[in-house]
Chain A
Amino acid sequence: MAGMGNRVLAGTDRALDLLRELPRLSLSNIRSNPKAFKRNKRGRGQHGGKKHGAGNKGSGQRQNFMRLGYETGNNPFYLRVPKEPYYKGHHLRREYPPISLMQLQTLIDTGRLDTSKPIDLSALCNTKLFQLSPLENQYGFQLTDEGLDNFKGRVNIEVQYASEQVISAIERNGGVITTAFYDAPSLIAMRDPMKFFASGNPIPKRQMPPENAVEYYTDPKNRGYLADPDLIALERFKLAQKYGYELPDLKKDPELLPMMLERKDPRQIFFGLNPGWLVNLKDKKIFEPEDEQLLEYFRS
């Protein structure tokens, strides 16, 4: 590399070129960065000894510590301040981690999301960029309006919450948006489908939303999955009028139309797979139940 004309070596090339002049890299001439490994702090000698960091007298030196929050007798903070009802029931409220339209556009532009297939919670979790923890009351993703003006993607997306502006942004570009509810066991299955299939459990049937969510998911204005599709079409038209854009005709693209219209059944979790089916990844087989009772249960 050295002496090959006027080329200036920089960065990695320079480092590799330097290595050519240096002795062979071996076990005896390598070392770590300074301060990479801490010296073991011994409680001996001038700097570690005498009182060993415990101070003088008191509960500290005698290793008989006061309880956490104790303020040596006066009314402590955690008793002084009364409870307020601001956070009552907060542990029962559902959380929806946000995904902005800007992030969505970036994912589409960099090829991390395939727009030729419907985008649902599984597709978003498969990018491994978003974490979802159903055990911490997280019930899915909400689509936020950051980057709304520059959103250009044409997608069939299913989220758990989207505001009116976001819905308009998706539909303005010829896309389709649906809001759907998933219960915790379904979310756990969707979050890591491969892990779920490897567990050997049959696909569960998705439960109906809780009482305080039924109104939201049956409202065509929110593009709820339980709403009447005809009313949803009407609301699409109304929204286009409200925000002043021409509603793109989905039928103009006959290749993409079946993909755009693809929606899940209210009891379905995965596209193309029904509840009750058992997927065997290793042998690449899918098993269906034959028992009447089971079939009735999963179909209901």
Chain B
Amino acid sequence: MILSLYGAWQKNCGGAFPPKFKAPRQVWVSNMDTVEEEKLGLIDLHPEVFAERPRVDIIHENVRWQQLYRHVSYANTKMRYEVRGGGKKPRQQKGSGRSRHGSIRSPIWRGGGIVHGPRSPTPYFYMLGFNTRLNGLRSTLSAKLAQDDLHIVDSLDIPTDDPSYLEKLVEERGWGPAVLFVDDNDIMPLNITAASDSHGHYNLMPVYGLNVYSMLKHHTLVLTLAAVERLEERLLFHLNRNDAASAGQKYKLDSV
């Protein structure tokens, strides 16, 4: 974390994968101690993570996947053998002058079974491609940064556990109504946990839970320095790994 004003922290932008073709994006680091914003310094954000082309179609695919992969349709219709009755031939084959039938629950009858209707439970599970999911995160982070909806803070430690403190802070800084706070650790400081608990629109999330849907749902994204470092490290690792193909393959038991 190169803090140029108060800087004692050092971070090589990208670490193992320094930026080669694009310039790093510089962002202010703020504090959470006071309601008014105090800028603590500047850091460089890796362009491959935060300045990637914002592919709206990939973002859409990610959102669709997130909503659909867990969806199970419980709609159900009965087939002809499930509808009550219909075992007996209604009338004899010949002689009545009327059309011939074998069952009163055949699909052509009123009240009969449905042939190609919904069958409960129908899962809609599918896995989106590895690179599509990776690029979805990159595109969304880049879009958030470009639209000034991304803020970096040093840590999520606030002085009180009063819910109104968070309200005033968000109001004062012009952060959107809904804010997503992201930290590296999944056990957050007590004060911010208590303060945001009563608000449904202030949410805390560890880095491993970061997803496209949540980032779009919340107006503002607030990352801690630790979260930025972890996020960049993970995304750059996955971007530069040479066995991504095997990561996207189906799991096969006892495969050779």
Contacts and interface: CB of A to CB of B under 8 A. Distances in A.
Interface residues of A, number: 23
Q: Is the contact region of chain B dominated by helix, strand, or loop, or is it mixed?
A: helix
Interface stretch (B55-63, B69-77, B154-162, B187-195): B55-63
A26 B60 contact: no
A15 B54 contact: yes
A135 B147 CA distance: 53
B52 interface: yes
A24 interface: yes
A24 B147 contact: yes
B142 interface: yes
Interface stretch (A27-35, A58-66, A152-160, A281-289): A27-35
A4 interface: no
A16 B242 contact: no
Nearest to A32: B60
A93 interface: no
Contacts of A108: none
B120 to A, nearest CB: 18
A294 interface: no
Contacts of A22: 147
A2 to B, nearest CB: 12
A27 B54 contact: no
B146 interface: yes
Contacts of A17: 146
B216 A27 contact: yes
Interface of B: 22, 51-54, 56-57, 59-61, 63-64, 116, 140, 142-144, 146-149, 176, 213, 216-217, 219, 242-243, 245-246, 256
Interface of A: 11-12, 15-17, 19-20, 22, 24-27, 30-33, 36, 43, 127-129, 135, 188
5 contacts: A16-B143, A25-B147, A25-B216, A30-B56, A128-B245
